[in-house]
Structure 1
Amino acid sequence: MPYTAPPPPPVPPRPPRGTLKLPEVRTVALTAPLTWLALGWRDLWRVGMPSLLHGMLLATFGLGLLMLARDQFWLLAGAFSGFLVVAPVLATSLYALSRALERGEPANLRTIGKTWTRWQFSRYAVHGGYWSLVRFGLMLSLAGTGWVLTSAALITALAPAPVNTPTDFLRHVVLAHRGYLFELWLTMGALMAAPLFASSVVSMPLLLDRRVDVLQAVLTSWQTVLTNPGAMALWAALIMGLTLLGMGTLLLGLIVILPWLGHASWHAYRALVDTRSLPERLPPEGNA
């Protein structure tokens, strides 16, 4: 009898055109972000050095920026603003570490390496594979660049004197006796930051954990914010406050704060989104 090759494994069908399946979003208590921080703190020290290495690398990068751009305020402000915007992408391996802990799997440097080098080759990329993460990261980078250019143009056009250093910004914008430039600058920043936060608050963990595309992830993130406006406002304030605290310690505090927030963000996603209706993206050991 001639040999007949076995049929290839079935590929999950794509959803019909025009349909978009979103997971259910849970309602959480106003104080839920405090619980996420507590769980993130636990994960940080359970993982240990692999998590702290993320903070060390990012703090070192920030220190290099300070040294290179100490007299070029807008380059410095733009770099740090861009970092805050793309931080959800940079924290992807922190989400993977927390997921490994949740599954009872090893959470170590090998987990990080596999996260970035193996699951992007999934044959299920049509369902939102590695390139969905890349596309979303590029979108966030473009949005951050747009804010930096808008902010620089506003200050350059309306400031009463040239602003070249942080001291100039404090003197001529924040403490200016006339005009409302600082208030206008803050308002514009809030108007641009709010939709970015709403689009990304659970998008990256969802893209890592489930086979979804960018649009599904972003719409789910918006639904999360609209369902829990109070808790999400507190979460945004905690993220901003802790990040500024880390920057105020000459970036040394970021060594702990950044991985802490990354792990906490995973727990925020798990508390807010019921993903049982979505196909799972297998861990790095698998093929999806």
Structure 2
Amino acid sequence: MTLPATEISPPQPDVLVVPLGAPLQWLLLGWRDLLRCGCWSLAHGALLAAFGLALMATAYQHFWLLAGAFSGFLVVAPVLATSIYAMSRAVEHDGRIGWPLLRDTWLSWQQSRFMESGGYWCMVRFGLLLALAGTGWVVTSAALITLLAPAPINAPLDFLRHVVLSRENYLFEAWLAMGGILAAPIFASSIVSMPLLLDRRSNLLMAVLTSWRVVLANPGPMALWAALIMLLVLLSFATAMLGLILLIPLLGHASWHAYRALVDASALPERPRAH
């Protein structure tokens, strides 16, 4: 008996195995796309760097909040890079890079119904889930530091002295452990989810499960990819956020090529490209 079309499950994307050094190749390809897209890519980095500077200025005297906010920013970064993925996708097809592409990418969710399977709303829902996770970490981080720190944490030096370097307790280790417990499943859920949702008509559950399958099939390359992201982000923070101007578009474009290398989604219907 043939099932009605509405009950037939869409095909699962194939997950590919890549060599350990593949993340370095993704960065090189991301750099190529960054040069191709130019100011349109750098504008994303400039906006997020400006946001980081504004956050720093606002919360500088409340560093317990600032530490959680910056790490929470990393949680929602895959969603913020959506239009960067769209630019790399356009480069693949010799498409035009410009304001119409960015506008259509961010407003395409208005063209589909909320409950439509494989519609643009799945990207909105995924973004909301990541934002909720990021907010939860900010609150948890702030509560952990303010409640357990031996002295008020109001400035970077306070955080360094009473949390990072303190040997009276294991607050810093606990803070890192809690951050890792939250970050690991989010990272595993979002490695290829947003690029897949942008590129193909996939539902949210399929995209997240595909991302987890990628991690299980490529533990070494994914560990290296996570380490490279953290290292580059820390270097950018050390430049008073100015490094984000270059880093955000570089990682966004590189993440698109990571998706292309790790997932064969040709069995799924292609999502129309923005113009």
* TM category, shorter: over 0.9
How many residues matched?
272
Whether 2:169 is the aligned partner of 1:182: answer no
Deviation sequence 1:215-266 (CA, Å, 0-9, x none): 0110000000111001001101111111111111011111011000000000
Q: Give, in whole Å, the separation in 1 of the partners of 2:63 and 2:10.
A: 44
Aligned to 2:240: 250
| Residue ranges of structure 2 left out of the alignment (5+ in a row) | none
SS of the residue aligned with 1:126? Answer: coil
Shift in Å, 1:191: 1.1
C-alpha distance 34-222 of structure 1, shift in aligned 2 (>3 A): same
The equivalent residue for 2:106 is: 116
Q: In structure 1, what is the equivalent of residue 51 of structure 2?
A: 61
Relative distance call for 1:29 and 1:15 in structure 2 (3 A) is farther
Residue 137 of structure 1 deviates from its aligned partner by 0.7
How far residue 109 of structure 1 moved from its aligned partner, in angstroms, is 2.3
Q: Is the alpha carbon distance of 1:165 and 1:14 closer, same or farther for their aligned partners in structure 2, counting shifts above 3 Å? A: farther
> Hey, what does 1:127 align to over in structure 2?
117
**Counterpart Cα distance in 2 of 1:101 and 1:192:** 34
Report if the CA contact (8 A) 1:72-1:165 is conserved: yes
Q: Residue 67 of structure 2 aligns to a residue in which SS?
A: helix
Aligned structure 1 segments of 4 or more residues deviating by more than 6 angstroms: none
Output the CA distance in 1 between the equivalents of 2:107 and 2:99.
Answer: 12
Q: CA deviation at 1:14?
A: 3.3
SS in 2 for 1:52: helix
Report the CA distance between 1:156 and its aligned residue: 2.3
Any unmatched runs of 5+ in structure 1?
1-11
Asked if the contact 1:202–1:217 (Cα under 8 Å) also holds between the matched residues in 2, the reply is yes
Give the aligned CA root-mean-square deviation in angstroms.
1.8
CA distance in structure 1 between the aligned counterparts of 2:59 and 2:134, rounded to whole angstroms: 18
* TM-score normalized with structure 1 length: 0.90
List per-residue Cα deviations over 1:35-93 (Å, max 9, x = no partner).
Answer: 00000000001110100000111111111111121101133223322221111001000
Post-superposition offset of 1:125? 6.7
Out of 180, 184, 195, the residue aligned to residue 194 of structure 1 is 184
How big is the shift at 1:158? Answer: 2.1
Is 2:44–2:249's contact at 8 Å kept on the other side of the alignment?
yes
C-alpha distance in 2 between matches for 1:147 and 1:68: 19
Structure 2 residue aligned with 1:14: 6
Alignment of 1:163 with 2:153, yes or no, is: yes
Letter in 1 for 2:166: A
Moved more, 189-198 or 111-120: 111-120
Using the TM superposition, name which of 163-172 and 84-93 deviates more. 163-172
252-261 or 106-115, which moves further after superposition?
Answer: 106-115
Alignment of 1:6-45 (within 5 A): 13-16=5-8, 19=9, 21-45=11-35
Q: Could you tell me how far 1:145 is from its partner in structure 2? A: 1.5
What letter corresponds to residue 14 of structure 1 in structure 2? T
**Aligned with 1:77 (options 67, 70, 73):** 67
Distance in structure 1 (CA, Å) of the matches to 2:105 and 2:185:
28
Pick the aligned partner of 1:218 from 208, 215, 219.
Answer: 208
Match of 1:90 among 80, 97, 114: 80
Of 222, 230, 233, the residue aligned with 2:220 is: 230
Deviation of 1:204 after TM superposition, in Å, equals 0.3
What is the aligned-residue identity percentage?
64
- Code of the residue aligned with 1:174 in structure 2: it is V
8 A contact 2:60–2:154 mirrored in 1: no
* Residues 155, 79 of structure 1: alpha-carbon distance in 2 compared, 3 angstrom cutoff: closer
**Which residue number in structure 1 is paired with residue 132 of structure 2?**
142
